[in-house]
Structure 1
Amino acid sequence: MGENVLFLLILLVCIVETEAQYKIFNVITYNASSNGNTDNSEAFLKAWSDACKWKGKSTILIPNGTYTLRGPCNSSINFRLEGLLKAPIDPKSFASDNWINFKYVNKLMVGGGGSLDAQGAYAWKMNDCQKNPNCRPLPTSMKFDYITNGYIHHMHSFNSKQSHFGLYRCNNMTLTKLQIKAPGDSPNTDGIKIGKSTGINITSVNIRTGNDCISMLSGLKNVQIMDVYCGPGHGINIGSLGKYEDEEDLADIIVKNCTFNGTSNGVRIKSYESQLNKTVVASNFIYEDIVMENVEYHIVIDQHYCSNSGECNLL
């Protein structure tokens, strides 16, 4: 694999319902090295390929250790991370705007108590998208696209280059027992960013980051956020809305039993001074049992988040 190839796990639907025996595919048996320096692409690709061909339930197991991975992978099933995955430091090493990407999977489980270290500090100084319309977005650490019935649990994510976890066009997803951390001054390191998805449950998550702890974009319906600790960061946000013509209505959001400590905002709804040719409706939001300590702005409804001149309130 060339050194500039992105470590990208694209999981395609290959789950065959069968009564065949359950099997664990341990990457160590494929000669993966946990020394933190070896490129394990070949070992991971072989493990994914064999797991996908297995006619029954299977698990990809990444034991304790430090693994450096670069290369594409196509498979599905259970991604069990017990060790530490470290991303390439240089964002130019990535072929897309994601580090790890799961796509088009039904019944996906990701967990195991392991950690993702995106090593984002080197890349943060390159984040100039607010000033440069031709900028290249930095990669999200772990992205889920078109996932149905997903369970993401017991993981640590550190120092993302941009967002830690991203969801797009997902249905019936649970994210629980996650530890998310980046410095308070790290740019655009959203903890969890969600768009155009339905039935999302976020529970028992600790988020300390440099941007939104949770960002909810257009097209979201039936979202429940409970027992989340946020701080530092910019709070739990809806929007920004009103910028793109393909935006969809957003409704039925519950934020309950959450704590904000040392954040710039608590709960916020933000939208542009929209010039769109359509109306985007945001409705039915419930906030209950919210605790705020050392929060600058507790409740914010900002309908002028960005002006027509392009100036934005980045808090």
Structure 2
Amino acid sequence: MGSYFGISTILVLCLLGISANAHVFTVPGAPGSDITKALLKAFTDACQAPAPSKVVIPKGQFKLGEIEMRGPCKAPIEVCMQGTVRADGGSIAGKDRWVVFSKINGFKLNGGGIFDGEGNAAWRTNNCHKTFQCKKLPMSVRFDFVDNADIRDITSIDAKNFHINVISGKNMTFDNIKINAPAESPNTDGIHLGRCTDVKILNTKIATGDDCISVGDEMTNLLIEGVTCGPGHGISIGSLGRYNWEKNVNGVTVKKCTLIGTDNGVRIKTWPSAACTTTASGIHFEDITLDNVLNPVIIDQEYCPHNQCNKAKPSTIKLVDVSFKNIKGTSKTKEAVKLLCSKGFPCQNVEIGNIDIKYTGADGPAVFQCSNVVPKLTGVQNPKACTGPVTMPPGQD
């Protein structure tokens, strides 16, 4: 049931932007207990409240099983997670989710709490990075069809699979998120997004075993700003083209980000022998700082991990209006910039401006590689940029 407040509490709630007649539901449970049923009941009750409501997970450590907190709700709802919730480390077979927020319009998640995926046991059995035929493993936190949302000040550690997965959302902000897993943990993407519109990821720190941020198909108007990534596989658009139902990507800006010791820096990756023909356009990387990054700047349209595709067939994903500007730092290998575009659909309107990437290895100096692209050059390029003719396929000029 909803709580009732005195005058001083009402003033505090107003300052926090919470209605004075908001219902507050605190999840009961002793430290160490399983709060799955209690949290689901609190959320369900809050979701049916006629006024804005708040669910509070108090400080402490609790067990949490598979749970879906599902709308639609009658009014905006907030989940304030102050404590730590832990998944079952031994329950790993056949599941693709742990905590799900779905079909909610007007949602907040905050409180400084921690989602602990207890992923160590799962990592030893995970082979999804090597084969299409693999066991399902649960993503830690999923946002499915969540609109007008503000997610901030939460932490995800040791996910069994992706830490955070965002699908079919609109007008969402992620701010001050912390994500942590060992560098060797497979498929533990920090934040994966697909089929969303108007999403911001701000002021976030991600250390994990796969892409810090990965962007799937049908994304529109995504801003990634102030993200620190490392360890991990960098910030990636894609992979794109693996499935035949994929749709266009349009409008992705990555700016003021720092990558430290990652396997890739800023990257676009598409599959050869792609199952669809789509376009990724309006993709811009700017003001990026690199510290000992393996592949600092890369377009890879021959992305084919563990030979799961036919490399003889060129990628059918069209890359249009792409820019890399004001990117500086150090590379772990001499290939500082690699623009490996599709011979079937060469990249169009790629701009390179003010690149300064240093490499100090014995096999140096740093190099700039191109195939099937003639970049537009502005400012200074270090290493010296490649130039040269590109033969366009019939009907593509």
Do both proteins adopt the same fold according to a TM-score greater than 0.5, normalized to the shorter chain?
A: yes
The question of whether the paired residues in 1 share the 8 Å contact of 2:128 and 2:187 is answered with no
Spell out, residue by residue over 1:277-314, the C-alpha distance to the aligned partner (whole angstroms, 9 max, x if none): x421011111111000110111111111018951699x
Identify which of 297, 302, 306 aligns with 2:295.
297
1:250-289 matches, cutoff 5 A: 250-276=249-275, 278-289=276-287
The question of whether the paired residues in 1 share the 8 Å contact of 2:147 and 2:172 is answered with yes
1:1-315 matches, cutoff 5 A: 21-28=21-28, 32-34=29-31, 36=32, 38-70=33-65, 72=67, 74-75=69-70, 77-92=77-92, 96-276=95-275, 278-306=276-304, 309-310=307-308
| SS of match in other structure, 1:46 | helix
Cα pair distance change 1:307/1:260, threshold 3 Å: closer
Work out the CA distance in 1 between the residues paired with 2:80 and 2:158. 21
The question of whether the paired residues in 1 share the 8 Å contact of 2:68 and 2:100 is answered with no
Spell out, residue by residue over 1:219-240, the C-alpha distance to the aligned partner (whole angstroms, 9 max, x if none): 1110001000001110000111
The unaligned stretches of length 5 or more in structure 1 are: 1-18
| Letter aligned with residue 280 of structure 1 | T
| SS of match in other structure, 1:297 | coil
Work out the CA distance in 2 between the residues paired with 1:216 and 1:72. 25
Higher Cα Rg, which structure: 2
| SS of match in other structure, 1:91 | coil
Work out the CA distance in 2 between the residues paired with 1:217 and 1:59. 32
The question of whether the paired residues in 2 share the 8 Å contact of 1:118 and 1:161 is answered with yes
| Letter aligned with residue 304 of structure 1 | E
Spell out, residue by residue over 1:156-175, the C-alpha distance to the aligned partner (whole angstroms, 9 max, x if none): 11011111111011111100
| Letter aligned with residue 291 of structure 1 | T
The unaligned stretches of length 5 or more in structure 2 are: 1-18, 312-397
| Letter aligned with residue 61 of structure 1 | V
Work out the CA distance in 1 between the residues paired with 2:279 and 2:92. 38
The question of whether the paired residues in 1 share the 8 Å contact of 2:69 and 2:100 is answered with no
Spell out, residue by residue over 1:148-194, the C-alpha distance to the aligned partner (whole angstroms, 9 max, x if none): 11111000110111111110111111000111000111111100000
Work out the CA distance in 2 between the residues paired with 1:204 and 1:216. 18
Q: How many residues align?
A: 288
CA drift at 1:129? 2.0
Q: What's the counterpart of residue 7 of structure 1?
A: none
Work out the CA distance in 2 between the residues paired with 1:254 and 1:303. 20
Query: TM-score scaled to structure 1, two decimals?
Result: 0.86
| SS of match in other structure, 1:39 | coil
Cα pair distance change 1:260/1:72, threshold 3 Å: closer
Spell out, residue by residue over 1:123-160, the C-alpha distance to the aligned partner (whole angstroms, 9 max, x if none): 10111124444322211110001111111100011011
| Letter aligned with residue 65 of structure 1 | G
* Structure ranking higher on relative contact order (CA contacts 8 Å, 6+ apart): 1
The question of whether the paired residues in 2 share the 8 Å contact of 1:48 and 1:73 is answered with no
Identify which range, 74-83 or 241-250, moves more after superposition. 74-83
The question of whether the paired residues in 2 share the 8 Å contact of 1:91 and 1:138 is answered with no
Work out the CA distance in 1 between the residues paired with 2:132 and 2:286. 39
Cα pair distance change 1:70/1:249, threshold 3 Å: same
Work out the CA distance in 2 between the residues paired with 1:60 and 1:308. 44
Spell out, residue by residue over 1:228-268, the C-alpha distance to the aligned partner (whole angstroms, 9 max, x if none): 00011100001111111110100111111000110011001
Work out the CA distance in 2 between the residues paired with 1:187 and 1:194. 18
| SS of match in other structure, 2:122 | helix
Cα pair distance change 1:272/1:33, threshold 3 Å: same
The question of whether the paired residues in 2 share the 8 Å contact of 1:20 and 1:55 is answered with no
Identify which range, 101-110 or 45-54, moves more after superposition. 45-54
Identify which range, 278-287 or 229-238, moves more after superposition. 278-287
| Letter aligned with residue 265 of structure 1 | N
The question of whether the paired residues in 1 share the 8 Å contact of 2:67 and 2:100 is answered with no
CA drift at 1:70? 2.4
CA drift at 1:23? 1.7
Q: Percent identity?
A: 39
Identify which range, 146-155 or 300-309, moves more after superposition. 300-309
